């Protein structure tokens, strides 16, 4: 269940409101400047005829074979952004641009029908392959680029292309040097070559008539319903995890002026820990976030502490411990054996 107890009061006032009635618009929102940044990056790469439209929806997405980008509606309103930050950790500037570049890769693929090309299929695979949301990535595979969290290029050939395009598009990325010797370099070179070939050509599929999937104007659920329906239930995966012995090894049971509660320490570093473990392991973010919540709750119940002058030491140990648990889950389907 989603708890709204710790969300900002002014944001909680929006919970009973229907999303489509909030009058949310991309124009004039914080998100608009990032869309303009995306267009500048496309221009810098020579893609003068490719400007995918961006609309507000329930999540980051590109409708199937439609060259248009959906962006989360909560990024268009400061109160909704604060609500999302309290519940899920809202995207920062770097992450917003990463997602925009990724979705632009999908849109580029669809706009020029690249997925029908024989060379595309030889490099990336079968576009019509079914999606598998429970895919198990191979960390550090040199066959795929690294971009957004979770070794996401390994999920599907379409995602592989979108991630490759995003890496190619990112400013000041020396991808030839970074991926030298990797099989993934051939994919980057393909994107670079095909983008040059299509630079002056209009899209084969018109951008202005692209079909939008669940635009904000059609989102009939209330804000409260949206979060209750979109929050995965991670309780089952963590119900038997009781890391008392390990936490007592990591943290201190002492009290004193130079110590502070381990639970407060974990809360301060929660987002960066979740970000990095998600990125490097590929385990879904919602589960890692819940894992850190369980660790923090247990640390509070055990009344554990950290020495303020050695916080970097505790941070390293916490990340190593939580990453090991995440890798157990990734390879064995559970965090710990009993």
Give the whole-angstrom CA distance, residue 67 versus residue 105. 9
Give the whole-angstrom CA distance, residue 224 versus residue 219. 12
CB 61 within 8 A of CB 103: yes
Instruction: Compute the radius of gyration of the chain from its Cα atoms.
Output: 22
Give the whole-angstrom CA distance, residue 316 versus residue 269. 11
CA distances from 181 to 148, 239, 290 (A): 21, 44, 38
CB 284 within 8 A of CB 318: no
Give the whole-angstrom CA distance, residue 157 versus residue 164. 10
DSSP letter for 130, please.
P
Tell me the residue ranges of DSSP E strands in 241-293. 259-261
Quick: pLDDT tens for 87-112: 888 889 999 999 999 999 999 999 99
Quick: pLDDT tens for 25-73: 999 999 999 999 999 999 999 999 999 999 999 999 999 999 999 999 9
Predicted pLDDT of residue 1:
55
Q: Which two tokens stand for residue 103?
A: 């979705």
Beta bridge partners of 261: 305
Predicted pLDDT of residue 113:
97
CA distances from 283 to 32, 61, 145, 243, 268 (A): 31, 20, 17, 19, 22
Give the whole-angstrom CA distance, residue 329 versus residue 331. 6
DSSP letter for 202, please.
P
Q: What is the pLDDT along the chain (338 residues), one digit of tens a residue?
A: 566 777 888 888 899 999 999 999 999 999 999 999 999 999 999 999 999 999 999 999 999 999 999 999 999 999 999 999 888 888 899 999 999 999 999 999 999 999 999 999 999 999 999 987 777 888 899 999 999 987 899 999 999 999 999 999 999 999 999 999 999 999 999 999 999 999 989 999 888 778 899 999 999 999 999 998 888 788 888 887 888 999 999 998 877 778 999 999 999 999 999 999 998 988 888 899 999 999 999 999 999 999 999 999 999 999 999 999 999 988 888 887 76
Residue bearing tokens 């003068």:
48
Predicted pLDDT of residue 141:
94
pTM assigned to the model: 0.88
Predicted pLDDT of residue 6:
75
């Amino acid at each position: 269940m989603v708890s709204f107890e710790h969300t900002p009061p002014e944001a909680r006032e929006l919970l009973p409101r229907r999303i489509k009635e909030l009058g949310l618009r991309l124009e004039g929102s914080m998100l608009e400047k990032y869309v303009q940044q995306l267009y500048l990056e496309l221009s810098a790469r020579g893609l003068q005829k490719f400007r995918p439209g961006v609309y507000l929806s329930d999540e980051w997405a590109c409708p199937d074979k439609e060259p248009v980008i959906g962006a989360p509606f909560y990024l268009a309103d400061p109160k909704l952004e604060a609500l999302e930050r309290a519940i899920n950790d809202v995207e920062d500037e770097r992450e917003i641009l990463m997602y925009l570049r990724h979705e632009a890769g999908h849109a580029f693929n669809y706009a020029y029908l690249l997925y029908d090309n024989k060379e595309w299929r030889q490099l990336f695979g079968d576009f019509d392959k079914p999606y598998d949301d429970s895919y198990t990535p191979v960390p550090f595979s040199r066959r795929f680029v690294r971009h957004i969290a979770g070794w996401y290029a390994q999920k599907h050939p379409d995602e592989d292309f979108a991630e490759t395009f995003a890496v190619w598009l990112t400013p000041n990325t020396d991808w030839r040097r970074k991926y030298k010797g990797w099989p993934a370099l051939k994919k980057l070179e393909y994107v670079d070559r095909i983008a040059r070939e299509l630079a002056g050509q209009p899209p084969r599929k018109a951008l202005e008539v692209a079909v939008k999937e669940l635009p904000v104007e059609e989102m009939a659920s209330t804000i409260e319903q949206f979060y209750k329906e979109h929050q995965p239930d991670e309780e089952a995966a963590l119900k038997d995890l009781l890391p008392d012995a390990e936490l007592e090894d990591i943290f201190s049971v002492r009290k004193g002026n130079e110590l502070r509660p381990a639970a407060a320490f974990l809360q301060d570093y929660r987002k960066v820990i979740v970000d990095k473990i998600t990125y490097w392991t590929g385990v879904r973010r919602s589960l890692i976030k819940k894992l850190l919540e369980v660790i923090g709750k247990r640390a509070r119940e055990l009344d554990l502490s950290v020495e303020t002058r050695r916080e970097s030491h505790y941070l390293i140990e916490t990340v190593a411990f939580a990453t090991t648990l995440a890798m157990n889950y990734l390879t064995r389907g559970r965090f710990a054996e009993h």
